[in-house]
Chain A
Amino acid sequence: MQPFNIYLSGVGGQGIGLLCEILLRAADYAGYTAKAVDTHGLAQRGGTVVSHIRLGAEVPTPLISERQADLVIGLERHEALRSVQSMLHDSGTLVYYDTVLQPLGVRLGVEAETSTADLERACGLRGITVHRVEPTELADPRMQNIVLLARIDRLQLVPGVATEHIQQAMDDLLTGSMLAANKTLFQSAR
């Protein structure tokens, strides 16, 4: 069986770690042999953060090769575009939360912000399916990862991983009010 490769990207502080952990565990519940790795770097400091998840018994390394991802999950528009171009294979799938955290160059006025149109153009050139998640007002913006997770679930973007697997994973990883808040949001955003 061909492995299924998921590449996640975002900005430090957006909750990519939890999203990766939930998907990894959900895939495990779904019966996959799963491997993952986070690249932290200076993650907490507003830099780019990425995670790799690879599903399949024959997968030796958790690191996905250039343009070998089947699915890119972007928590932010610039990072979504960056990851599509470096990691997603032609005709792959992008799902992203369309929020913008401006990189330094944009705020300094020396670079242009990536627009939704830029991203769609880059995807269009390579036959990539794009699922854009419209930002909504959330009580806590750090729960954007759960809105994205709900969309991934609704669209069944990870073959074989069902809602119950994701819920089991959330039950494993979260407790108390955090679990309740995240599960409620997950349900309502589906």
Chain B
Amino acid sequence: MKNMGEMLLTPTPFSEIVMGNTALVRAMIEAGTQVVTSYPGSPTPEIATAIQSIPLDERPFYFEFSTNEKVAAEVAFGASINGHLATVFFKSVGLNVAADAFIQFSLLHCIGGLVIVLGDDPGANSSQNEQDNRHYARMSYTPILEPANPTEVYDYYKEAAHLARSLGKAVMLRLTTHVCHAKERVAFAGWQSAAPIDRSPRFDPANGPYIPLVAKVYPRKREALAALEKVEQWIDERGLHRIVGNGSERGLITSGMVHLSALEVLTDAPGRPDILKLAMPYPLPKRAIAAFLASHLEVKILEELDDTLETEIKALAYDQGLTTRIVGKQELEDWVGEYTPDKVRDILHRTWPDLVPARTAIDPATLVPVPLRPAQMCPGCGHRSAFHAIKQALPKEGAITVADIGCHTLGFQEPYLLGEVLLCMGASTGIASGLALFNDTRPVVAFLGDSTFFHAGLPGIINALFNQHNLVLVVMENGTTAMTGHQDHAASGRNVNGPADAIPIRRVLEGLGVQHIFETDTYRQKELTEIMRQALALKAFSVVIARHPCMLLFTRNQRKKSGYVARHVRIDQEACARIHACVEAFACPSFARAADGSVTVNRELCIGDGSCLQTCPAGAITR
């Protein structure tokens, strides 16, 4: 695959090794999707990478990164009620942001069809929780499909798009981290771009009602519920649920990637149970499940995270008077973490010890301790300089610092310990406002990234102004959405499709009427310390813009230029007084500390930015 963009537009049937996120984009193209929106968040950013590999003028659909997930969902909805097949994708917790809009979708007639693609994160690999978004499907009466691997991502998106379009509904496609990132050879169908697509705006209030108020709520709700019955019939007809095996008295009901873990564990099991692999965890295919229950004496429900299948299947069995022994979650740990093959082995061993042997215990005598490796801010990161400088301005004890989502969240770790509480995108100013109430003694500082400023940061800032809260907000401005792979944001001067007028953060703050705005480059550490002192002394709402471009992105771009020469700092070993401020206080990962206490520079990591020079009391760091 020399060129991903060309591959994705291949007209003839072909097969290629792709990850789930890439397979999804080919499915979008084949399904005739017209509008795609997103806000970046792991595990989904590679969907955008694949889309962006197609040159803008050849891209068969419109794509944008919206300001946040709610706006992205609204844009997709708007396109859908205008007749376009639309898709919005974002990470698990993005659905919380989008929920206020999303929850209405099933009540309204999305004539073009609407697919919501979720990147759920069992195992909380890169999220603040491992929430199970199947709950949202039930809460909003939205069908949800759950693929297990890249091939199913491709197939199920097309199924979801077909269902959404034929019903004029929203349909969810729930991916999980290791489905997004799994790679395998996927066989793709052909695709012809020649067919003219009707892009004329088709919005008509007669397709509604689109005002779900008063007397319209009940009829819309009835219609949404009635549609679920059609969906249940459709999924039976499509044959997407699969039964593996035949004739065992024991059965297993599962879905998504957990199914693959179960197959792995049960490969060699004698008398392997039959498996009913569900494609759609909501609405459940009651007929298929009832038949499966009726033909087995004992059925284990193996589901990752919460017990949505178990609860519904047990209720179904009760209603139908089935006496099958149903085994669901048994221990608290069954609710926690990704259902990897190891975890599934533990669970199935507990359920059927005769069938699945226990994991072989690791002999602790064979283990040699290895230091953990927490994620770090990168060498040269402007946030490191900011934390180092801000720490000097805070009282030794008593300050309360509030984190937000972004690379700067990592400031919570040793040795900075800045940002001691974290909720979600844009929450820091609001939390800090609450912490500032009845509090004349402990200064409160909130951190906020620049993409997050636009995403969900503004309401908290406006509230702090409106209700006159006393805190210092530090906007950690690095010019990009760094954590998720450097997507542009509203202040970048570009959007995903080309140049756009930048919306400078300082001007937004001035326009809101923020009285006290300070600004500096974070590498000017002394100045930043001084500014923070001034801001803290004000006893009013103030904003410090702590600015430095993302050095990972900067260095990556520099490397592409001809004549690029790698630069590094070095340590003058004679001047070094073994104070260890570089490794213990500034803590750039480029420094290496030997057992004898000497410090050297790791040239593999150091980018020669020199932000560390000012941190050595002995002046031993030189260029």
**Which residues on A are within 8 Å of B, measured CB to CB?**
11-13, 21, 24-25, 28, 33-42, 44-48, 58-67, 78-79, 81-82, 85, 99-109, 111-114, 118-119, 121-122, 125-126, 140-141, 172-173, 175
Contacts and interface: CB of A to CB of B under 8 A. Distances in A.
Interface stretch (B62-70, B360-368, B459-467): B360-368
A39 B340 CA distance: 13
Most buried by A among B125, B184, B483: B184
**Chain B facing A: main interface SS:** loop
A79 B126 contact: no
Interface string B176-198: 01100111110000000000000
Nearest to B585: A108
Contacts of A33: 185
Contact of A101 (B372, B566, B589): B589
Given A46-B376, A62-B183, A101-B605, 17 more contacts: A11-B373, A34-B184, A36-B184, A39-B178, A40-B126, A40-B181, A42-B410, A46-B378, A60-B264, A61-B261, A63-B261, A65-B264, A81-B368, A82-B370, A107-B583, A125-B365, A175-B2
Interface in B366-390: 366-368, 370-378
Interface of B: 1-2, 17, 42-43, 125-126, 149, 177-178, 181-185, 257, 260-261, 263-264, 267, 340-342, 345, 359-360, 362, 365-368, 370-378, 407, 410, 413-415, 483, 485, 552, 566, 580, 583-584, 587, 589, 591-593, 595, 602-605
A172 B604 contact: no
B163 to A, nearest CB: 27
B42 A40 contact: yes
A102 B368 contact: no
B589 A47 contact: no
A2 to B, nearest CB: 11
B373 A78 contact: yes
> Top 3 closest A-B pairs, CB basis?
A47-B375, A61-B260, A60-B263
B181 A61 contact: no
A112 B583 CA distance: 14
Contacts of B595: 112-113
Given A24-B17, A108-B414, A109-B584, A66 B593 contact: no
Contacts of B184: 34-36, 62
B1 A173 contact: yes
B42 A103 contact: no
14 contacts: A35-B184, A41-B126, A44-B483, A63-B178, A63-B260, A63-B341, A64-B341, A81-B368, A101-B589, A104-B587, A105-B372, A108-B583, A112-B595, A114-B370
Contacts of B261: 61, 63
Contacts of B342: 65-66
A42 B340 CA distance: 20
Most buried by B among A21, A59, A65, A172: A65
B183 A35 contact: yes
Contact of A104 (B359, B370, B376, B566): B376
Contacts of A82: 370
A37 B183 contact: yes
A69 to B, nearest CB: 13
Contacts of A105: 371-372
A109 B257 CA distance: 41
A102 B593 contact: yes
A46 B589 contact: yes
A37 B182 contact: yes
A81 B342 CA distance: 20
Given A79-B373, A108-B584, A112-B595, A102 B589 contact: yes
Contact of A12 (B267, B340, B375, B602): B375
A28 B17 contact: yes
Contacts of B592: 100, 102, 107
Most buried by B among A47, A107, A173: A107
Most buried by A among B367, B368, B372: B368
A158 B17 CA distance: 19
B487 to A, nearest CB: 13
A65 B370 contact: no
A172 B2 contact: yes
B348 to A, nearest CB: 13
A21 B181 CA distance: 12
Given A42-B375, A108-B414, A58 B584 contact: no
Contact of B370 (A42, A62, A78): A78
B244 to A, nearest CB: 10
